[in-house]
């Protein structure tokens, strides 16, 4: 965190000054570790084993916050008797279909509701359906069987206990390389600092998500936080530190292929032919919770897009919306470019030639387009790959013959335009424009507004039906200044929503109507322009308001600073403790009150119980704090919504030097793979030849640089602080491979070879895993071929294997070889790589996805794995 989020780390230091203990777990000793109270080195990719060990420690020692767990989580809920655990099936859950490598989730359902699991999980994987759960839980049945004594063998609590029974401190040591005493120190501290009077916070950065089991990493963290009662309470939570400014905003108002604003899923071509099909699929009639109003949110969005043209008669122009037909994720697109299926591409503030996994595929894809528009602050590698790249060196791209026409358009930076940032707390903060952008640099808003305007002018008069979607758009933003800059305030007002007849801005999404009388671009943002005031621009200093600071910026939903804060009070509505008082039930006033906006219906008493037929919000009890979940409970066990299992399970990374010590199933069986000759995978056990790539490498950021380097390698004062690509190795690995401090070394995988200067440092340590010494090395991923300081790109080493839930790449762990000296250049480089592939036996061969024994009959899986 100190390394990648130095400004945010000031609050950790502030907490440390006040006596907080900081625990840091990381493959390498970083600037964060230097300041932490406890540092643990861990093998990259083994986090679920570590956290699963914490879950077991809590359950075995009965350290869970029992009252909270029983009332607020699904610990007591009974699961179907058809359910089989990974303990029973050697690393698979019940319902696995080897043909599609996906799960039928019926057997994961709550008892009596098995029908809820009939989802098309293979399609959900292709559309990264997990992303839509950011604002609300997936649907589950309303009526469930519960055993509040937690004794029923099929209640979630007991299932959890069995699932993690083998995640002992000894197993943590075997899998993660962390000595068991050290592991217990952390588990003890975490549990001891949680309960009525104390809360612990789990902070992670997005590197945690970049694994084939990335979503399950965070799920494991959430299970621990729920067991310890650390959710919905001050000082608790699971905090995601985003990779750069407004990443939260870019999922709320998404730049994603599968979502529309406010987490409305993009319609599927086959499943949602009509507006009603689409809305019903979001709404899940009969379900509890706020998502029941999905029709209003959808209508308001379509009204914001198409204005007066969107009417009840034409289903609010639903037919204008594009449809998904499968996987349109960024990596699938890259392969489609290589295959000539995509002709044109816009890149905005993104540098995939350096920043995305498998740099070679990225560059070859972009070299096979008709046109490419790059809008950036600097001339980046993704705009010059056709004349300056590794592939030009090797002859794979010829500048003379490269067919891609690249249009480079200079962009305005964040200080040169106005708008909002949304940060990880869902807080929108308005920023003013500080200076005019130089030269031809323009904002994204300017670019798209005028692009749309010009296209519409060109199409004016067209009678073709296909042009209606563009011509009917409500494209009427006021502009100002010499360059006709559209008003960002007007856009924010449109996002907030307003009454169509009067123009009165809506104050809350509960005012949204499904008849077309209101319009709003993103239902969760409604209220940011309440009373016609830009609430995101509020800057009341902290010292002039309460410690929750509700008048600084604006948080969605409804300016609520902490989600699920009903959980900060006990089931009767009283604070769990005076020290952790946050939101509580005021019986005299008959309403919820507290330091924050209560995340609950204001006047619903704790004693409220729904009737049999109550649906939607009325279906939630007065003690159901997780109001966006179908059953109002925090989910220790996820019957739907997660495609790779209801409980997190340790799988090895797609590339690992060791056999999974826990199960026959080596890696995530549902991971998204692209088996193509240009995307080989290094062999891992139980396959042969993993010894060709014996070392583990991980990549991350340096404080001195930013992501793919476009904003730092081009700036002299930053470039000089970390002027060269380097690899950090332990003294032990340096001795093993003959590497010298500041000498050159090159790293090899089946995809690529890169060179780097060597930093030998005591901050890297070998680990003992399964009785073997595993060496790890670390690389920054900031370097590329352009800028003041240049170097090989670490992402060239990775292939493309994705998490099944959100289609994020595994780019934080892989296997490689490292050799002293510089890499070959030009065509010999290709021969060098080909030789590695030949020795690894990967030419035309892809690792098996399923390695669990088909049934539990004890048949040998060909490895020396211990039973």
Is residue 694 involved in binding other proteins (CB under 8 A)? Answer: no
3-class DSSP state for residue 619? Answer: helix
Is residue 562 involved in binding other proteins (CB under 8 A)? Answer: no
CB of 694 to other proteins, least distance (A): 15
Q: Are 227 and 221 in contact (CB under 8 A)?
A: no
Is residue 41 involved in binding other proteins (CB under 8 A)? Answer: yes
Whichever of 222 and 747 has its CB closer to other proteins, that residue is 747
Is residue 245 involved in binding other proteins (CB under 8 A)? Answer: no
Q: Which residues contact 15 (CB under 8 A, 6 or more apart)?
A: 22
Tell which one of 310, 357, 638, 760 touches other proteins (CB under 8 A): 760
Is residue 430 involved in binding other proteins (CB under 8 A)? Answer: no
Is residue 36 involved in binding other proteins (CB under 8 A)? Answer: yes
Whichever of 181 and 400 has its CB closer to other proteins, that residue is 181
Stretch that binds other proteins, among 39-47, 61-69, 344-352, 501-509 (CB under 8 A): 39-47
CA–CA separation, 620 vs 626, rounded Å? 9
Stretch that binds other proteins, among 33-41, 71-79, 373-381, 629-637 (CB under 8 A): 33-41
CA dihedral 543, 548, 549, 551 (to 10 degrees): -150
CA–CA separation, 557 vs 788, rounded Å? 43
3-class DSSP state for residue 484? Answer: coil
Q: What are the counts of helices (DSSP H) followed by strands (DSSP E) for the chain?
A: 23, 30
Tell which one of 552, 726, 778, 798 touches other proteins (CB under 8 A): 726
Pick from 71, 406, 40: nearest CA to 231 = 71
3-state helix, strand, coil in the chain (%, to 5): 30, 15, 55
Is residue 761 involved in binding other proteins (CB under 8 A)? Answer: yes
Bridge pairing between strands 767-769 and 772-774: antiparallel
Is residue 689 involved in binding other proteins (CB under 8 A)? Answer: no
CB of 774 to other proteins, least distance (A): 9
- Per-residue burial over 686-699, b = 16 or more CB atoms within 10 Å of its CB, e = otherwise: bbeebebbbbbbbb
Stretch that binds other proteins, among 199-207, 521-529, 546-554, 721-729 (CB under 8 A): 721-729
CB of 794 to other proteins, least distance (A): 16
CB of 714 to other proteins, least distance (A): 13
Q: Which residues contact 543 (CB under 8 A, 6 or more apart)?
A: none
356, HSE (Cβ side, Cα atoms, 13 Å): 26
Is residue 34 involved in binding other proteins (CB under 8 A)? Answer: yes
Tell which one of 516, 605, 743, 824 touches other proteins (CB under 8 A): 743
CB of 43 to other proteins, least distance (A): 11
Is residue 742 involved in binding other proteins (CB under 8 A)? Answer: yes
Pick from 206, 246, 351: nearest CA to 710 = 351
Q: Residue 757: which H helix or E strand, with range?
A: strand 753-760
- Per-residue burial over 270-282, b = 16 or more CB atoms within 10 Å of its CB, e = otherwise: eebeebeebbeeb
442, HSE (Cβ side, Cα atoms, 13 Å): 18
CA–CA separation, 536 vs 429, rounded Å? 5
Strand partners, 25: 40
Is residue 734 involved in binding other proteins (CB under 8 A)? Answer: yes
Whichever of 9 and 157 has its CB closer to other proteins, that residue is 9
Is residue 724 involved in binding other proteins (CB under 8 A)? Answer: yes
Stretch that binds other proteins, among 311-319, 327-335, 501-509, 737-745 (CB under 8 A): 737-745
Stretch that binds other proteins, among 5-13, 512-520, 594-602, 664-672 (CB under 8 A): 5-13
CB of 6 to other proteins, least distance (A): 4
Tell which one of 15, 20, 31, 850 touches other proteins (CB under 8 A): 31
CB of 10 to other proteins, least distance (A): 4
CB of 781 to other proteins, least distance (A): 16
CB of 791 to other proteins, least distance (A): 10
Whichever of 298 and 696 has its CB closer to other proteins, that residue is 696
Whichever of 533 and 742 has its CB closer to other proteins, that residue is 742
DSSP string, 104-128: -GGGGSBTT-GGGG---HHHHHHTT
Stretch that binds other proteins, among 96-104, 233-241, 663-671, 700-708 (CB under 8 A): 700-708
Q: Are 758 and 750 in contact (CB under 8 A)?
A: no
CA–CA separation, 84 vs 80, rounded Å? 9
Q: In this structure, how many other beta carbons lie within 10 angstroms of the beta carbon of residue 90?
A: 19
Is residue 37 involved in binding other proteins (CB under 8 A)? Answer: yes
SS (H, E, C) 620-653: CCCCCCCCCCCCCCECCCCCCCCCCCCCCCCCEC
Tell which one of 579, 602, 741, 822 touches other proteins (CB under 8 A): 741
CA–CA separation, 207 vs 729, rounded Å? 20
Among positions 763-802, residues that touch other proteins (CB under 8 A) are 763, 765-768, 773, 788-789
Among positions 169-188, residues that touch other proteins (CB under 8 A) are 177, 179, 181-182, 185
Is residue 435 involved in binding other proteins (CB under 8 A)? Answer: no
Is residue 423 involved in binding other proteins (CB under 8 A)? Answer: no
Is residue 718 involved in binding other proteins (CB under 8 A)? Answer: yes
CA–CA separation, 361 vs 644, rounded Å? 27
Tell which one of 222, 361, 719, 800 touches other proteins (CB under 8 A): 719
Whichever of 18 and 480 has its CB closer to other proteins, that residue is 18
Whichever of 65 and 726 has its CB closer to other proteins, that residue is 726
3-class DSSP state for residue 531? Answer: helix
Bridge pairing between strands 23-26 and 814-820: unpaired
Q: Are 510 and 464 in contact (CB under 8 A)?
A: no
Is residue 383 involved in binding other proteins (CB under 8 A)? Answer: no
Tell which one of 224, 506, 759, 816 touches other proteins (CB under 8 A): 759
Whichever of 17 and 543 has its CB closer to other proteins, that residue is 17
Tell which one of 192, 735, 834, 854 touches other proteins (CB under 8 A): 735
Burial class (CB in 10 A: 0-12, 13-18, 19+), 714: middle
Whichever of 181 and 864 has its CB closer to other proteins, that residue is 181
Is residue 487 involved in binding other proteins (CB under 8 A)? Answer: no
CB of 561 to other proteins, least distance (A): 22
Q: Are 205 and 241 in contact (CB under 8 A)?
A: yes
Q: Are 486 and 478 in contact (CB under 8 A)?
A: yes
Strand partners, 748: 753, 817
Whichever of 492 and 789 has its CB closer to other proteins, that residue is 789
3-class DSSP state for residue 473? Answer: coil
Stretch that binds other proteins, among 9-17, 70-78, 470-478, 682-690 (CB under 8 A): 9-17
- Per CB under 8 A, residues contacting other proteins are 2, 6-7, 9-10, 13, 16-17, 29, 31-41, 177, 179, 181-182, 185, 702-704, 716-724, 726, 730-732, 734-735, 740-743, 757, 759-763, 765-768, 773, 788-789
């Amino acid at each position: 965190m100190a390394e990648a989020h130095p400004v945010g780390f000031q609050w950790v230091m502030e907490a440390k000054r006040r006596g907080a203990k900081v625990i840091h777990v990381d493959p390498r000793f970083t600037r964060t570790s230097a300041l932490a109270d406890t540092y643990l080195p861990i093998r990259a990719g083994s986090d679920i084993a570590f956290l699963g060990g914490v879950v077991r420690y809590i359950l075995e020692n009965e350290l869970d916050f029992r009252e909270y767990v029983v009332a607020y989580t699904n610990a007591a809920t009974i699961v179907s008797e058809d359910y089989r655990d990974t303990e029973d099936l050697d690393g698979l859950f019940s319902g696995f279909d080897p043909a599609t490598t996906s799960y039928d989730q019926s057997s994961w359902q709550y008892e009596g509701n098995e029908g809820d699991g009939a989802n098309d999980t293979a399609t959900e994987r292709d559309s990264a359906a997990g992303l839509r759960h950011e604002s609300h839980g997936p649907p589950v049945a309303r009526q469930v069987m519960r055993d509040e004594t937690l004794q029923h063998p099929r209640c979630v609590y007991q299932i959890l206990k069995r699932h993690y029974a083998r995640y002992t401190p000894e197993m943590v040591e075997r899998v993660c390389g962390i000595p068991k005493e050290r592991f217990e120190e952390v588990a003890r501290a975490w549990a001891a600092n949680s309960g009525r009077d104390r809360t612990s916070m789990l902070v992670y950065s997005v590197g945690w998500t970049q694994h084939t089991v990335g979503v399950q990493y965070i799920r494991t963290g959430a299970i621990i936080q729920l067991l310890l009662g650390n959710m919905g309470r001050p000082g608790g939570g699971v905090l995601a530190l985003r990779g750069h400014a407004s990443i939260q905003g870019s999922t709320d108002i998404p730049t994603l292929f599968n979502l529309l604003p406010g987490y409305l899923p993009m319609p599927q071509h086959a499943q949602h032919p009509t507006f009603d099909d689409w809305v019903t699929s979001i709404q899940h009639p009969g379900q509890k919770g706020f998502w029941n109003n999905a029709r209003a949110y959808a209508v308001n969005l379509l009204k914001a897009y198409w204005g007066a043209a969107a009417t009840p008669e034409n289903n609010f122009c639903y037919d204008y919306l594009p449809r998904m037909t499968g996987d349109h994720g960024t990596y699938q697109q890259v392969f489609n470019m290589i295959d000539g299926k995509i002709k044109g591409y816009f890149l905005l503030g993104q540098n995939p030639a350096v920043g995305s996994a498998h740099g070679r595929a990225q560059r070859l894809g972009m070299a096979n387009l008709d046109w490419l528009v790059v809008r950036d602050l600097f001339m980046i590698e993704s705009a010059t790959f056709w004349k300056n790249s590794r592939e030009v060196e090797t002859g794979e791209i010829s500048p003379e013959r490269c067919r891609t026409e690249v249009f480079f358009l200079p962009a305005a930076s964040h200080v040169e335009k106005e708008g909002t940032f949304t940060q990880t707390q869902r807080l929108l903060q308005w920023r003013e424009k500080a200076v005019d952008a130089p030269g031809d640099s323009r904002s994204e808003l300017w670019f798209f507004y005028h692009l749309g305007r010009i296209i519409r002018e060109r199409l004016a008069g067209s009678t073709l039906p296909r042009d209606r979607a563009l011509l009917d758009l409500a494209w009427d933003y006021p502009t100002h200044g010499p360059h006709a800059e559209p008003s960002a305030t007007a856009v924010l007002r449109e996002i907030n929503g307003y009454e169509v007849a009067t123009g009165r801005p809506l104050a809350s999404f509960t005012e949204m109507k499904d008849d077309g009388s209101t319009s709003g671009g993103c239902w969760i943002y409604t209220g940011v322009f309440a009373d016609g005031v830009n609430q995101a621009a509020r800057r009341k200093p902290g010292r002039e308001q309460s410690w929750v600071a509700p008048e600084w910026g604006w948080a969605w939903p409804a300016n609520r600073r902490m989600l699920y804060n009903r959980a900060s009070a006990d089931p009767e509505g009283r604070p769990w403790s005076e020290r952790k008082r946050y939101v509580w039930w005021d019986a005299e006033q008959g309403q919820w009150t507290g330091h924050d906006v209560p995340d609950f219906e204001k006047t619903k008493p704790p004693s409220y119980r729904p009737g049999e037929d109550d649906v939607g919000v009325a279906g939630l009890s007065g003690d159901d704090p997780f109001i966006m979940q179908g059953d109002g409970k925090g989910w220790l066990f996820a019957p739907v919504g997660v495609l790779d299992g209801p409980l997190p399970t340790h799988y090895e990374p797609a590339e690992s030097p060791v056999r999974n010590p826990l199960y026959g199933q080596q890696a995530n069986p549902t991971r998204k793979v692209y088996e193509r000759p240009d995307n080989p995978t290094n062999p891992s056990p139980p396959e042969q030849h993993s010894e060709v790539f014996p070392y583990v490498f991980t990549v991350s950021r340096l404080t001195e640089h930013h992501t793919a380097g476009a904003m730092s390698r081009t700036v002299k004062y930053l470039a000089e602080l970390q002027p060269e690509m380097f690899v950090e190795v332990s003294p032990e690995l340096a001795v093993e491979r003959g590497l010298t401090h500041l000498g050159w070394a090159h790293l090899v995988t089946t995809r690529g070879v890169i060179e780097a200067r060597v930093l030998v440092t005591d901050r890297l340590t070998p680990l003992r895993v399964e009785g073997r010494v595993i060496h790890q090395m670390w690389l920054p991923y900031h370097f590329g071929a352009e800028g003041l300081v240049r170097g090989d790109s670490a992402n060239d080493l990775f292939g493309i294997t994705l998490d099944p839930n959100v289609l994020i790449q595994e780019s934080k762990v892989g296997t490689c070889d490292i050799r002293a000296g510089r890499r070959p250049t030009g065509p010999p480089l290709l021969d060098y790589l080909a030789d590695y592939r030949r020795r690894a036996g990967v030419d035309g061969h892809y690792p098996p996805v399923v390695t669990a024994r088909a049934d539990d009959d004890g048949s040998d899986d060909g490895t020396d794995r211990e039973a």
